Structure 1
Amino acid sequence: MREAYHDQLGQLADQLADMCGMAGDAMERATSALLQADLGLAEQVIGDDVKIDDVRASIEEQAYALLALQAPVATDLRIVLAVIHAAESVERMGDLALHVAKAARRRHPNHVLSDTVEPYFAEMGRIAVELAREATDIIRTQDVERARSLEDADDAMDDLHRHLFTVIMDKDWPHGVPSAVDTTLLGRFYERFADHAVSVAKRTVFVVTGRMPGYGDDIDD
């Protein structure tokens, strides 16, 4: 009975890792759609978002069943609770990739971004996907040190996001207000995606150690 229970916990973690990988793939495609004005890729991200939502629904259903039927304690309880919260963050990652794809679709066949800021978004997209893939591996391995190091990559995203504002706010910005608004919103999507990936890694630290690093910095949107 106990072995079957731990198998169920393992399945929950595997589903969460798969879901995180899906969110990373979505952001990779969404970034390509954004930079290349690729309508097909944008539509793929938009159509696939429901799959991420379905995985979250399945995870929550199984997690709540475990809470109700098995009354887990200590580490087992931490796993179930961490998976529930992490699945919410991963779903938000998928939603943020969806927002990027919708922006690409909305402006098609034109490019959303000006040539001035496209290199920033290429790098932000790279970091976002790297964070999602790292978080995926961290879920599977429960590597605490690797989870803690994820914040370094998030710092790089934050630096890019801040610098983007200086570019937009420059008095010589030549691309107009609509372009500045699009750039601001898209930058926020990438920055929040990275924050959610870090939040998922923090949940792994919580599972292993029983302590939530950076408590109070958790993600609200």
Structure 2
Amino acid sequence: MRVAYNEQMTELADLLGEMAGLAGQAMERATQSLLQADLRIAEQVIGDHERITDLSAQAEERAFALLALQAPVAGDLRSVVSGIQIVADIDRMGALALHVAKIARRRHPAHALPEEVNGYFAEMGRIAVALGASAREVLETRDPERAAKLREEDEAMDDLHRHLFSVLMDREWKHGVAAAVDVTLLGRFYERFADHAVEVGRRVIFLVTGELPSDMPTPPAQHVG
């Protein structure tokens, strides 16, 4: 029974790693579609999202099967429950990349972004993709020290998000309300993508150590992502 449990946990971990990789890839392509007003890439992100959804369903099914059939306790139970929570975080990361691609598609053939904020989103996209890769890494290695560093990497995203608002509030903004709404939503999508990657790291720390980092409180539930 123990051998079967270990095999099933390995399969679940592999699924989570694959999901994280796909979410990062989706955000990378979504950013390309946004910056280049590329409809083909946006459609690719939207079409490929079903793969993340399918993997999410598979991962949840396997995790609940472990709970039902293996009756895990103590550390094993912590691993399974953390796995279920991580599935939800990565699923949201994929959905946030999907939202970015949909805005790019909706505004095509025009660019969704005014040229003056392109640099912000190019950098936010780079950080988001790096955080997605880091989340996959910590899922594969289960290294709590590496997982804790995701919060530090997220600080750059938070800084960019704050600076972006200063641009929107500037009296010199001349792109109208619709563009301001798009920029606000897009900035939020990137910020939340990064937050979910950090949360994956937080859950890995709990999975390995049994303790939640004291400086990493659970973020409040929000409908945006």
Paired residue for 1:95? 95
Query: Is 1:187 aligned to residue 187 of structure 2?
Result: yes
Paired residue for 1:211? 211
Paired residue for 1:157? 157
What SS class does the counterpart of residue 161 from structure 1 fall into? helix
Q: TM-score, normalised by structure 2?
A: 0.96
CA distance in 2 between partners of 1:13 and 1:210 (Å): 18
Checking the alignment, whether the CA contact within 8 Å between 2:202 and 2:216 is kept in structure 1 is no
Q: Describe the superposition over 1:101-131 as per-residue Cα deviations: whole angstroms up to 9, x where unpaired.
A: 0000000011000111000000000000000
Q: Describe the superposition over 1:5-59 as per-residue Cα deviations: whole angstroms up to 9, x where unpaired.
A: 1111111011001001100000000000000011011001101111111111111
Query: Is 1:220 aligned to residue 216 of structure 2?
Result: no
Alignment of 1:66-215 (within 5 A): 66-213=66-213, 214=215
Amino acid at match of 2:159: D
What SS class does the counterpart of residue 117 from structure 1 fall into? helix
* Cα shift at 1:215: 5.6
CA distance in 1 between partners of 2:220 and 2:27 (Å): 19
Amino acid at match of 2:33: A
Paired residue for 2:40? 40
Checking the alignment, whether the CA contact within 8 Å between 2:27 and 2:97 is kept in structure 1 is yes
Q: TM-score, normalised by structure 1?
A: 0.98
Query: Is 1:30 aligned to residue 30 of structure 2?
Result: yes
CA distance in 2 between partners of 1:75 and 1:21 (Å): 26
Amino acid at match of 2:3: E
Checking the alignment, whether the CA contact within 8 Å between 2:24 and 2:129 is kept in structure 1 is yes
Amino acid at match of 1:7: E
Checking the alignment, whether the CA contact within 8 Å between 1:37 and 1:111 is kept in structure 2 is yes
Number of residue pairs aligned between Structure 1 and Structure 2: 221
Quote the RMSD (CA, aligned, Å): 1.0
Provide structure 1 residue ranges, at least 5 long, that are not aligned to the other structure.
none
Amino acid at match of 1:10: T
Checking the alignment, whether the CA contact within 8 Å between 2:15 and 2:59 is kept in structure 1 is yes
Query: Is 1:61 aligned to residue 61 of structure 2?
Result: yes
Query: Identity of counterpart residues, as a percentage?
Result: 60
